[in-house]
Structure formats: structure tokens, C-alpha cells
Chains A and B, each alone.
Chain A
Amino acid sequence: MAVKDYLRERYFPHMWCPGCGHGTILNSLIRAIEDLGLDKSEIVMTSGIGCSARISGYVDFHSLHTLHGRALAFATGVKLSRPELKVIVPMGDGDALAIGGNHFIHAARRNIDITAVVMNNRIYGMTGGQFSPLSGAGVKATTAPYKTIDSNFDVVELAKAAGATFVARSTAYHAQEATGYLKKAIEHKGFSVVEILSQCPTHYGRKNKEGDAVSMLELHKTNTAKLGSKALENNPELIARGVFLDVDRPEYCQEYDKIIEQASKG
């Protein structure tokens, strides 16, 4: 099938700004689903609010566009009632870790079989460029005209500590790599988190003098390095890309089934 077969073409061209990394992530995600040969009706995409959340409207799967930050809560409900479906939750950085921070850590703790895609552009794009918990210190935003002083969450470390069983990171620049990690994450049984660094040229790029989409993508290339690479060893300041964790732990729906079985025995 071609990429277009997975899209609701009537909503295109999409609403994302020119050069927005979210479009590339949608591209990578569709290719991952295509490579896995999944049927469109096997997939549920649940999203919250924000630029990233609009993704669920563009894909021709079962989709739920829900409350800000609560996509994982809705996804948990979907998964528990229909465990045979693949549930994918694309989220923005604020959606996942500010408004939905609690849902994120608890979904990870339960190890419920959901794929969470954190599309991290380090800013609230839709509402006009406020800083998010992933912006980090020293970043200009509309709510931080003299630069931020807040440290950022490390999505990978947070997900690992909270109990996720598959954690990976890639960027919009490394589209093929991102597709590979998304494939692994979707196939993984348990809570999987893929952080994909995205670029927001409209707000983040402009305020922080990172230039247009092309130069922001160049930064994805120069500021990151593959896990275990020489470049990362020589310069630990770089952001690591790769699969950080891939382990097995009892999955929530399976454990729940066992409880039902036990209770039905009377």
C-alpha cells in the first residue's frame, strides 16, 4: 500500500506550519505501520491536544481526539476493552509530560501494551510558543522573554524509571531510524516510549535563533549521536539516540485476564 492509503486525504494539506517536524514524524509512523503490514482496522490512535495531537485526524485508523494530556488514560480504556488492537498514542512534549505527566508515569508503571510517541519540539506551538517541561534552561519562549531557568525532563530516563519496558529516541532528521524504532515499539509487548525530536521553526526556531526548518534539522544531526558511538563517547554533551531499554515484564492486560479467570472460578 502507498502512504496515501493510510491518510484521510480530505484533510490535506495538513495544518502544520511549513517545515514542521511533526509531518515528518507522521511520515515515519505511517511507514512503520506499512512495513509491519498492519491492517488499518487493527490500529487505534488516541491523542490529546496540541499540534502533535492533530495527527490522529490525519490517519485513516480508528482514532480518538481526546482531552489535553489524557490521551493515555483513554488509550488505557481502549486497550483494556479491546486488547487485540494496537494502540498508538502520539503526544507533544507538553501534552505528555506537563498536562499528562501523571498519566504518562502511571501508564509506564502498569506496563500496559501501548505505544507512546513523544513528539518533542520543546515548546507549546499551537498556543503561541510557551515553554514546556522539555524546553530546558536557557531557552527563549513567549512566557520566558529573558530565557528559562527550569531544567528539563529527560524523557528516556523518566520512562525507564517509571517502568516502561521499551524506550528509544530518534529525531525527525533521522527519519529512517525513527521508522525502525517505531516498528520495534509497536511490536513490543508492554508500554513502549519513543521520543522523537521535532522542530518548530515558527516558535522555537524563531525565538531561539535556530533559523528555518532546514537549519533546525541540521542541529538534529550535529547535536545527537548514536548510543555507543565514538562521537557520544568523546562528547557526552550530545543527545543520545538509540534503543535505551527493551525488556520483558508482565503486561497489564494479560495480568488482568488472569484475575478475571481466577475470579470466574468462584
Chain B
Amino acid sequence: MSKKKLRELAINRDWCKGCGICVSFCPKKVLELDSKDKAVAVRPEDCICCKLCELRCPDLAIEVLIEQDKEDE
């Protein structure tokens, strides 16, 4: 099976309350809190699509969108 590739880390800024759970438990340190205390993906290229941020987010504000497998590659 090919490696999952991130399409987008969709973060709903209106719902995010900046608790920092996603930032702390991301195994690849992809996320950080910005000056407004909202989560942002600063290193999306490191994301391994484990979805731990999405599963643990208490505000249901994160969605890890994965690129569909491309057959022709």
C-alpha cells in the first residue's frame, strides 16, 4: 500500500479554542498555535496523516483530508 499523502489540514478557525492538544500530541510536530491562539499547520509536508489531531480535537475543528490514490503515478 502506498503512503498516504496529505491534501489539506482543514482547520476551522471559528471552532478552534486553542487548547493545544493537537500541537502537543502530533508525532511529527506539524501544528503550532499562531498569535491568535488558533492551530495552524506550519509543516504540512511532514504530516503522516495519522489523524490523531482530528480524533483528539475537543472542538471538532480539524479535518485531515487525504489525497486520493493516483493510479497513473
A-side residues, CB < 8 A to B, are: 2-4, 7, 12-14, 16-24, 26-28, 30-31, 172-173, 175-176, 179, 201, 212-214, 217
How far is A179 from B61 in the complex, measured between Cα atoms in Å? 18
The secondary-structure label for the interface of chain A is helix
Q: Residue B58 contacts which of A2, A24, A212 (CB distance < 8 angstroms)?
A: A24
How far is A45 from B45 in the complex, measured between Cα atoms in Å? 40
How far is A26 from B25 in the complex, measured between Cα atoms in Å? 19
- A-B contacts, 24 listed (Cβ < 8 Å): A3-B60, A13-B14, A13-B17, A13-B61, A16-B58, A18-B17, A18-B18, A18-B58, A19-B58, A22-B58, A23-B57, A23-B58, A23-B60, A24-B55, A24-B57, A27-B55, A27-B60, A172-B56, A173-B56, A176-B55, A179-B55, A212-B19, A214-B21, A217-B24
> A20-B58, A24-B21 given. 17 additional CB < 8 A pairs?
A12-B15, A13-B61, A14-B59, A16-B58, A17-B17, A18-B19, A18-B58, A19-B17, A23-B59, A24-B57, A26-B60, A27-B58, A172-B56, A172-B58, A175-B55, A213-B20, A214-B25
CB neighbours of B56 from chain A (8 A): 24, 27, 172-173, 175, 217
CB neighbours of A2 from chain B (8 A): 63
What string of 1s and 0s marks CB contacts (under 8 Å) between B34-70 and chain A? 0000000000000000001001111111010000000
When the two chains form their complex, are residues B58 and A214 in contact, meaning their CB atoms are under 8 A apart? Answer: no
When the two chains form their complex, are residues A217 and B21 in contact, meaning their CB atoms are under 8 A apart? Answer: yes
When the two chains form their complex, are residues A212 and B57 in contact, meaning their CB atoms are under 8 A apart? Answer: no
In the complex, what residue of chain B is closest to A214 when comparing beta carbons? B24
Chain A CB within 10 Å, residue with most, of B24, B25, B56, B57: B56
